[in-house]
């Protein structure tokens, strides 16, 4: 079993749609959680941290369910510019950071 698993997609959605990505992690001792965005042939960029209480940044909402070892990212009112690969990232202890393989999103006009 992979330590961090994501649906690879691709998700194809029209502009204005709401789309949700899920991610599961295997180590219950994992300490911190993040979503990164990676554009085609570019480096990953930190999108947002994920907190148990849930957190929002504009059109993006992240949720963490520690009991189910599950992380989600919700994007509302999708824009063409949201097209990218979204990486789920788990930091286990100290410097052990595990990246998921990513979920590809295509937003169409």
Partner 1 sequence: NAGVTQTPKFQVLKTGQSMTLQCAQDMNHEYMSWYRQDPGMGLRLIHYSVGAGITDQGEVPNGYNVSRSTTEDFPLRLLSAAPSQTSVYFCASSAGGGPEAFFGQGTRLTVV
Binding-site ranges for partner 1 (CB under 8 A): 4, 8, 32, 34, 36, 41-46, 49, 87, 89, 91, 94-102
32: left (phi over 0), alpha (psi -120 to 50) or beta: beta
Which residue, 40 or 109, has its beta carbon nearer to partner 1? Answer: 40
Beta strands 103-108 and 84-91 are antiparallel
At closest approach, how far in Å is the CB of 96 from partner 1?
Answer: 8
Which alpha helices (DSSP H) does 4-69 contain, by range? Answer: none
Kindly tell me which of 4 and 71 has the beta carbon lying closer to partner 1: 4
Q: How far is the CB of 80 from partner 1 (least distance, A)?
A: 23
């Amino acid at each position: 079993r992979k330590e961090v698993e994501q649906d690879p997609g691709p998700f194809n959605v029209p502009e204005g749609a709401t789309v949700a990505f899920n991610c599961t992690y295997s180590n219950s001792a994992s300490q911190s959680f993040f979503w990164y965005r990676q554009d085609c042939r570019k480096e990953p960029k930190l999108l947002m941290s994920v907190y148990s209480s849930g957190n929002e940044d504009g059109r993006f909402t992240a949720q963490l369910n520690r009991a189910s070892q599950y992380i989600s990212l919700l994007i509302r009112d999708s824009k063409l510019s949201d097209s990218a690969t979204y990486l789920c990232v788990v930091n286990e202890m100290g410097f052990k950071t595990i990246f998921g393989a990513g979920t590809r999103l295509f937003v169409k006009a």
